[in-house]
Structure 1
Amino acid sequence: MKKTIYFYIALLFGFLGSAQKITTAIDSSQIKIGSQFHLTIKASVNAKDKVVFPNAKNFGALEVLESYPIDTVKNNSQYELIKKYGLTQFDSGRYLIPKLMVKINQKDFQTDSLSIVVKNVKVDTTKQQMYDIKNIIATEEEPSSEWWKLLVLLGLIIASGFGSYFIIKKLQNGKVKEEEFFASPIEKAIAYLQNLDKKQLVQKGDVKEYYSEMTDIARTYIEESVHVPAMESTSSELMDALKKAISEKKMFVNREELDKFRQVLENSDLVKFAKSKPLQFEIEKDKSIVDKFILIVDKALPRTEEQAEALFAEEVRRKELKKQKFMRTAISVGIAVVLFVISVGIFAYTFGLDYLKEHHIGYTTEELLEKEWITSEYGEPAIVIETPKVLKRNNDEKIQNNLPENVKSTNRFMYGSIIDDFSIILVTTAFKDTTKLDLEAALETDLKELERFGAKNIIVKTADFENVKGLSGKKSYGSFTAFNDITKEDQKMSYEILVFAQPGGAQEFFLIYKEDDEHAKQIMEKIQNSIELRKAKK
C-alpha cells in the first residue's frame, strides 16, 4: 500500500457534461504542413451502453497519426466517453473532416463535419542565407539502455546458484552415506508413524492402506520388543499372546489401554475386510490410541543394565548424526549466501555501489541527508527546491489529456524508494486565467485523497506555513497508518502537506516518511527552508 500512497496526489476538478449525445471538436482550425492537431469526439451515455468509435487510418484526406485510449468521466448518472485522435496533412489547402460514424448500442450516430486550414511554410531564398551541404561527421553514440546490467546481475546470481549446488552436492557425495538406523524398536515405530501422516493417505481417500500400515507398524514393534509372533497372528491371537507376554514379563499395562488397542485392531479388520468407512474423527482417535499404546508398552518393558547402556550409547550416536546433518545444512546455506554476496560484490565493483543504490537498493535517510544536495526548478509556475536527489517527472497521461478549460498545465514530480521509507511528491498547476486556489479547500481535498488511497487512523493538524525565505502558505501535518507490502504489517507514517497559491498558479508539496526517523525529519526541515516560488507566466 505504501507505494500506492506515494503514487497519488492530483487536484480534483469538475467537468461539465454535454446535453447532446455526440459532440465533436478540434483544438485548432489552422495548422502548418505536417503539424499535428487533435480531433475529440465525446459521447454522453449510460453505464450499460456499448459505444464503438471510428477506427481508420484516414479521416477523409487527413491522416490519423495516433488514436488515443478512451477516457471516461462520470457526470451525475451519466458517463462521458472521450475519444481523441491526432491528425495531420502534408499538403496545404482547406480540408474537411467528414461526418464520422459512432455506434451506440448498434445504432449509428454521425459527428459534425469540421474544416481545417493547412498553411504552407514559406521560404524566402532572397533573405534566407543558403549554405553548402556539409559532410557527415561522427557523433557520440547515445547511451544505451541499462537493461543489460540487470542481465549481468541476474547471470551472476544464477552462476552463484549453480556453484552452490555443485559444491553442496560434492560435500554430500564426499561423506559416508547414512544408513537408515534406529536406536531401538520404539524409535523406529515413532518415526514410521510420523511418516505415515506425511503420506496423507486419508486425505487421498485410501483409508484401507492407512489402517493396514498403521497396524503393521504396531505389530512390528510388538514383535521386536515383546517378542511375540505379531505379524502372522490374527487380531485375537495377537491380543492373547500379548496379554500372556505382559503377564510373564511382569509388565504393568493397564487393562483399559489393552481394550482400546484391541478395538483399533478390530476397526482395522472392518476397514480391510468389511469395507467399513470410519469418520475423520474416528481415524484420528485410533491413530492417537496406537501412538500412546506403543509408548506405554515400551515404558513397561523390563531392561537389564547392559540393555540400558546399549540404548544410551545408541541415543548418543543418533544425536551425533543429527548434529552432523545440521552442520552440513548450515555449511551449505553459508556457501550459498557467500557466493550470492560475492556476486553482488562483483556487480557493485564493476558498475559502482551508487548504481545499485540508485536503481535497485535505494538510499537510507541518513545517506540522503549527508549527500551533496541539488537545487532544481520544477513545473509551471516553477517551484525551486533543494533536494538530496533530483525529482523525476511522473505525469498521469489520463489527467494530461483531460484538463479542465481553465487549466493550462499540471505536472507531478516525485522521489522515493523501498529502503528509504521516504517520499517527496510535488504537483504544480498553471491556470489560463488569474484563478487563485483556495488553500484550505485544497488541503481538505488532499487529505481525503490520502484516505481514499488506503491511509488509516489519520491524525490531522493544520497551520500557517512560513520558511526562512519568507515564503508563506498553508500546511497540514500529522501521522497515519498504512499497510506495508514488504513487512505485511501496518506501518506508522508521518506526513506534511504544503500548499501555495498565486494568481494563475498553485503548488502542492508532499513529504511522507517513516515515523520516528530523525534523519527524515531533518531532511524535511531542510527542504522546506529551501522552497522558492516563481511567478506564474501570463
Structure 2
Amino acid sequence: MKSFLATYKIISLLVLALLVHQGYGQEVTASIDRDSLLIGEQIEVQLSASADPEDLILFPEGQTFYPLEVINESGIDTLSKRPQLSLRKTYKITQFDAGDYLIAPQQITINRTPYTTETIPVRINDVVVDTTAQGLYDIKPLGQKVPEPKSYWPYVLIAALVAIGLFVYFKRSREKKRVISPFEEAINSIDSLKQIEVIESASIYYSATSIFKTYLHRRLSLSTEQRTSKELIGLLNSLGKNEPYYEQTKEQQTGLKELLNRAELYKFAKQMVTDEQRSADLLLISQTIEAYEVGYLKKLEALTTVPQKKNRLKQRTIIAVSTLIVVLGTLGVYGYLTGYQNLWDSITLNPFKKSYQQVWVLSSYGFPPVSIESPEALIRNEEGFSWILNEDLTVSIRIEKRESESEIDFVALSEAQLLRFEKEGFSTILPKSEIYNTKEEVTGYHSFGTALDASNNERSFDHLIFGGKGFSQEVVITYPTGDRWAEQIAARIMESIKVTTEL
C-alpha cells in the first residue's frame, strides 16, 4: 500500500511538472502603441513569442492585418529570459479610410504548432480641416520658365559644311580652263605670228598654213592636214559650190591661191620675204578665216532657227488646242449641270437672264395702289407707269378713275388695249381671255395671246384688269415669244401683283 502511494505521488509530480513547463514555455502576445489615429498615420504592432532556445518559431509574413495595410516590418529581435528566449517582431500598419477596425488574430507557429494572438480594436479618425481659420492668399503668379540653353553646334556644323562646299565649288570653277573656239584659237595664233619680227620665211608661212588647215579641220570638219595647196584650193572651191554659206569671191579665191603658192615657194626655194609682204599675207589669212567663220555662223543659225520656229509653232498649236479643249470641256460640264440652253444664254449674254437674276424692286404705283415686283422701278409717264428692256420687254401700269360708280367692263378695256397694240404696229393678234385670281384672292380679268410686232417678230402679251366702282387698274406685259427668261420675268411679275379694289 505504501509503495503504491509513493508511485502515485511520483507520477502526479511528473505530470504537474510537464503541464507547468508547457504553459510557461509557449506564450504569444500582440500589442500596439496606440488604438486611435488619423487617416494615413501609422501604428506599430509588436508580436512576441516566448519558447525554449531549441524551439522553431515562425512569425506571419505579408498582408495578414487586413483590412489594415502593412507598410513596413522589422527583423526579429531576440531577448534572453533564462531559461527561455523571447522573440519579438514589429509591424507598421495604416489605413486611409476612417472607421473602426479590428486587427485580426495573428498566427505564430512554434514547433509546427500554431498559436494565435487576441483581436485588437483600432479607430481611424477623419482629418478635420477648419477652413475658417485658414488665411486667404492670392493665387501665385505663373513662374517664369527659364529657357534651356540652345545648342548651336548643329548650325555651326551646317554652316561649316556649306562653306566647305562653296570653297570646293569655286576652286574647281577657277581651275577649269576656258574652252577656246577654233576661230579664236586660229586668230590668236595669227596675231602671235604678227608680233614676231625676225623669223625665217619658210617657218612663218608653214605655221600660217598649218593654222589655216587646222581651223578648217576643226571648224568645218574638212580633211585638210595631208592635202597640197592645189588640193586644198579645189576642196574649198567645191565647198563653196555645195554650201552657199562658204562661197568666196573671186578676189578672195585668187588671193588665197597666190598665198598658198608663195608658201610652197618659200618652203622649197628658201626665198626671203619682205616685212610688208609677210604682214599682207598674215592679214589675208586672218580675213579668210573670218570669212569662213561668218559662213559657219550663218549656217548654224539657219539650222537652229528653222527647228526653233517649228517648235514654237508646235508649242503654240498645242497650247491653243489644249486651251480650246479645256474651254469646251468646261462649257460642256457647265451646260450638263445647268442646262445647255442656260449655257447658250450665258454665252450670248441674254439680257433677260441678267434682269431675271438681278435683285428686284418691290413698289406700289398710283391710287388705288397696284403693287408689283420688277427688275427695275417703273417710271411715271402720261398714261401711267412703265418700264422697257431693250424695246422687247415692256411692263406698264395704268390706273383710271371714273365719275360713275358703275361696275367696270373688262371686255371693253381688253378690246381697247388690243387697239393700242395695233397702233404700236402689232398685227395678227390672237387673244384669249380668262378669269384671274391673285394670291390674295382678288378676282380680275386676264387677256393674253400672241402677235407680230412691227419687225415681224412674234411677241406674247399679258393684260391683267382689276378694279371696282369708279376706277380700273391695268397691268400690261409684252415680251418675246419663246425666250424662257422673258417668260419667267413675266410670270414672276404676274405672281407678285397686289391690288386694292376699294377706294
Task: Provide the TM-score with structure 2 as the length reference.
Answer: 0.29
Highest Rg: 1 or 2?
A: 2
Structure richer in helix, relative to its length? 2
